[in-house]
């Protein structure tokens, strides 16, 4: 199904099979199941302290993938940073990969485009490279749960792609049963599933399912608890001073945080760490000159405590709550 060959961009004559990575100067470029290309690392924009400065600095540092969402409530500032970077000649729009997300309050098929256009207007963009359904769980503007079927919402997402308002469409926070329903009832296979994956929550079964179906995994919160804990603690592991991670950092001459990000890459994900610190942004990009062994990846998997950083607990009683099944 995914054996079509495609030439890399005009700067390269290299050919590859779909899904294989090709490296730019700073990061790999992956081909999605719809033949569109996505950078191998992105900037998450949730809960940024300084959205404008963070996104602008990230683009200056070399990031080309910016992950946004209406729910993050910072689209205008993010969009202003993108516009300024383009207007100042730092980057072109074509060189950027911008992701948006449809929030739960726009799940009716005839409202999907309205949700999209609201985000495009906030960001001052004319299209998204990737547009995701943020969750399968619909609700009203007042936060009342509704039973709108995410399959119908997905058909609305397909409508957007047909109208060329988005290049690729995907889902986020979906489990395998929910994706199966989309595959059985819709025309377009999701290009991605954006889910939480990190050493404390390796999400093995769902990741395996997505990879078997040619759905690229985008990993949010890729460092998990490691960025929320001080060295020497006694709660949820791993810690920044974990002996095994420290050993790997010394072996590869990297930081523990870089080891954890590389873990995502070596499991086949695209990590989208968030940061307000320009030095950390550059550090996060500097993970593509080494590779963990399979045994090292498996050892990091053993940090699994099946504990999410973001558990969406407010939706526990929703008909389409997705975290009760892999």
3-state secondary structure 170-194: EEECCCHHHHHHHHHHCCCCCCEEE
pLDDT (0 to 100) of residue 311: 87
* Residue 41: closest CA among 223, 297, 242: 223
pLDDT (0 to 100) of residue 181: 98
pLDDT tens for each residue of the chain, 326 residues long: 332 222 223 233 233 334 444 444 579 999 999 999 999 999 999 999 999 999 999 999 999 999 999 999 999 999 999 999 999 999 999 999 999 999 999 999 999 999 999 999 999 999 999 999 999 999 999 999 999 999 999 999 999 999 999 999 999 999 999 999 999 999 999 999 999 999 999 999 999 999 999 999 999 999 998 876 556 555 667 888 899 999 999 999 999 999 999 999 999 999 999 999 999 999 999 999 999 999 999 999 999 999 899 888 899 999 999 998 88
Q: Report yes or no on 320 lying in a domain.
A: no
pLDDT (0 to 100) of residue 188: 98
Q: Which helix (H) or strand (E) holds 192?
A: strand 192-196
* Strand-by-strand arrangement of the 28-31 sheet: 22-23, 28-31, 37-39
C-beta of residue 173 within 8 angstroms of C-beta of residue 150: no
Q: Report yes or no on 283 lying in a domain.
A: yes
Residue 22 lies in domain: 5-308
Q: How many residues comprise the chain?
A: 326
pLDDT (0 to 100) of residue 26: 79
* Dihedral (Cα; 239, 202, 320, 74), 10-degree rounding: 50
* Residue 82: closest CA among 93, 71, 72: 93
pLDDT (0 to 100) of residue 46: 96
Q: Report yes or no on 313 lying in a domain.
A: no
C-beta of residue 36 within 8 angstroms of C-beta of residue 216: no
pLDDT (0 to 100) of residue 2: 30
pLDDT (0 to 100) of residue 238: 84
* Residue 33: closest CA among 194, 226, 216: 216
Write the CATH number for 293: 3.20.20.100
Q: Report yes or no on 295 lying in a domain.
A: yes
Q: Report yes or no on 318 lying in a domain.
A: no
Q: Report yes or no on 315 lying in a domain.
A: no
Residues in the annotated binding site for substrate: 134
Residues in the annotated binding site: 134
Instruction: Measure the CA–CA gap between 305 and 314, rounded to whole angstroms.
Output: 21
Q: Report yes or no on 233 lying in a domain.
A: yes
Instruction: Measure the CA–CA gap between 55 and 61, rounded to whole angstroms.
Output: 10
Instruction: Measure the CA–CA gap between 43 and 305, rounded to whole angstroms.
Output: 26
Instruction: Measure the CA–CA gap between 104 and 71, rounded to whole angstroms.
Output: 9
C-beta of residue 211 within 8 angstroms of C-beta of residue 187: no
Q: Report yes or no on 317 lying in a domain.
A: no
- If one counts the domains in the chain, the total is 1
């Amino acid at each position: 199904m995914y054996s079509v060959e495609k030439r890399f961009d005009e700067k390269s004559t290299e050919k590859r099979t779909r899904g294989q990575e090709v490296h730019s100067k700073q990061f790999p470029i992956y081909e999605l199941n719809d033949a569109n290309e996505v950078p191998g690392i992105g900037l998450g924009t949730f809960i940024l302290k300084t959205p404008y400065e963070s996104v602008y600095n990230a683009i200056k540092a070399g990031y080309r993938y910016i992950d946004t969402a209406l729910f993050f409530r910072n689209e205008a500032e993010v969009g202003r940073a993108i516009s300024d970077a383009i207007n100042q000649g730092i980057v072109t729009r074509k060189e950027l990969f911008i992701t948006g997300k449809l929030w739960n309050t726009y799940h009716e098929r005839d409202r999907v485009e309205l949700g999209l256009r609201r985000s495009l207007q906030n960001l001052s963009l004319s299209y998204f490279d990737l547009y995701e359904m943020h969750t399968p769980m619909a609700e009203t503007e007042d936060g009342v749960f509704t039973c709108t079927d995410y399959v119908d919402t997905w058909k609305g997402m397909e409508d957007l792609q047909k109208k060329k308002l988005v290049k690729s469409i995907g889902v986020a926070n979906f489990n395998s049963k929910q994706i199966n329903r989309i595959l059985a009832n819709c025309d377009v296979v999701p290009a991605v599933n954006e889910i939480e994956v990190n050493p404390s929550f390796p999400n093995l079964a769902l990741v395996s399912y997505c990879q078997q179906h040619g759905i690229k995994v985008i990993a949010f919160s890729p460092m998990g608890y490691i960025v929320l804990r001080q060295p020497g603690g006694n709660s949820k592991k791993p810690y920044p001073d974990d002996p095994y991670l420290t050993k790997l950092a010394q072996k590869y001459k990297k930081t523990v945080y870089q080891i954890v990000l590389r873990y995502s890459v070596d499991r086949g994900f695209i990590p989208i760490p968030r940061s307000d610190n320009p030095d950390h942004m550059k550090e996060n990009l500097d993970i593509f000159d080494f590779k963990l062994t399979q045994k090292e990846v498996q050892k990091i998997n053993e940090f699994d405590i099946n504990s999410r950083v973001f558990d969406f607990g407010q939706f526990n009683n929703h008909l389409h709550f997705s975290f009760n099944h892999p």
